[in-house]
């Protein structure tokens, strides 16, 4: 069995040693042009040449939950694309989103500004029932986020492509219920996969349907958000602020207007980082199942793009 690695998260030797511990006879190596064809691959954002040289590849394991970079490539039709489903990312994402929601809900930015200015004053109390949070996307990460927010007793709405049921979460599904979902939400958390249908979904039309004083948290992909539309709605006062972890161009260019905007918080795509040990264990489990001829979770539907 030959396993090709491309841009593995962490040191390549970690992956080689970990795979050899389970399959000592396997040939595991970093891919470079002209490398022997592999049976399986573990990769993050490989070039087209990677797949052009792998006509017999049985499966490629994507080192992340988002597969939009892979879906832009021509992948052999028989090659299964398998994504990571958690690998330690879900709890990180729940931490990040809850922190962003609570910081805005409790007015902590204002308190920090007051502390720097030497002012002692209390913000008005906000009632939780007036602060519904809407989660777009109910995959593994979105589900964990919605459940974590319920733990803080926020009203939580959730929107997904197909109807899903979560305890104590108000569900919306499909394009016909998107506007109702937005109108029912004060805070919007984007955890959607990036597809043709979801690109630019956070535009002026959709964001203006959020409740007055709405807040946007994007932890999915930068291409979901129309930057100029967010800025216009912040300037108009319809939106109160945003926390952004993902951007159309990364790193975010130094001249981008998001930098220094008083109502926008920026982090460098760190909301949920892939953890090496958890990723290795998950991929080994999935590969063992495939070798036994068993189905695995996380197989990407090419027609949906996720």
Question: For residues 285 and 304, what is the distance between their CA atoms, to the nearest angstrom?
Answer: 25
Which one of the listed residues 170, 238, 248, 269 is annotated catalytic?
A: 269
Quick check: 223 and 199 in contact, CB under 8 A?
yes
The b-or-e profile of 190-206 (16+ CB within 10 A means b, else e) is bbbbbbeebbebbbeeb
Quick check: 214 and 238 in contact, CB under 8 A?
yes
Quick check: 117 and 139 in contact, CB under 8 A?
no
Q: Is 133 exposed, middle or buried (0-12, 13-18, 19+ CB in 10 A)?
A: buried
221 in catalytic set:
yes
DSSP code, position 182: H
Sign of CA dihedral 265, 143, 306, 188: negative
CB atoms within 10 A of CB 254: 6
The b-or-e profile of 69-90 (16+ CB within 10 A means b, else e) is ebbebebeeebbbbbbbbbbbb
Residue 27 backbone zone (phi > 0: left; psi -120 to 50: alpha; other: beta): beta
Which one of the listed residues 221, 265, 273, 304 is annotated catalytic?
A: 221
Two structure tokens written together for 247 = 């951007």
Q: Which residue has the tokens 């069995």?
A: 1
H or E stretch including 68? helix 68-71
Question: For residues 46 and 27, what is the distance between their CA atoms, to the nearest angstrom?
Answer: 19
Report the catalytic residues.
Answer: 221, 269
């Amino acid at each position: 069995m030959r396993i090709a690695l491309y841009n593995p998260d962490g040191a390549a030797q970690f992956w080689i040693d970990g795979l050899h511990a389970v399959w000592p006879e396997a040939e595991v190596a970093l891919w470079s042009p002209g490398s022997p064809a592999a049976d399986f691959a573990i990769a993050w954002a490989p070039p087209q040449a990677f797949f052009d040289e792998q006509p017999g590849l049985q499966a490629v394991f994507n080192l992340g939950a988002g597969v939009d970079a892979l879906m832009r490539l021509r992948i052999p039709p028989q090659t299964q694309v398998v994504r990571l489903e958690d690998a330690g990312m879900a709890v990180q994402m729940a931490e990040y989103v809850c922190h962003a929601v609570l910081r805005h809900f409790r007015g902590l930015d204002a308190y920090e500004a007051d502390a720097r200015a030497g002012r002692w004053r209390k913000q008005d109390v906000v009632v939780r029932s007036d602060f519904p949070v809407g989660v777009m996307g109910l995959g593994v990460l979105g589900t964990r986020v919605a459940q974590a927010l319920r733990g803080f007793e926020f009203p939580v709405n959730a929107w997904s492509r197909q109807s899903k049921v979560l305890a104590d979460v108000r569900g919306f599904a499909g394009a016909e219920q998107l506007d109702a979902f937005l109108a029912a939400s004060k805070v919007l958390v984007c955890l959607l996969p990036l597809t043709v249908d979801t690109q630019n979904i956070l535009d002026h039309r959709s964001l203006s349907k959020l409740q007055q004083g709405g807040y946007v948290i994007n932890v999915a992909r930068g291409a979901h958000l129309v930057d100029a539309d967010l800025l216009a709605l912040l300037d108009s006062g319809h939106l109160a602020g945003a926390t952004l972890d993902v951007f159309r161009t990364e790193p975010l260019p130094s001249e981008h207007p998001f930098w220094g905007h008083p109502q926008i918080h920026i982090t460098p795509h760190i909301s949920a980082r892939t953890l090496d040990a958890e990723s290795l264990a998950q991929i080994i489990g999935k590969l063992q199942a495939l070798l036994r001829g068993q189905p695995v979770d996380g197989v990407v539907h090419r027609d949906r793009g996720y």
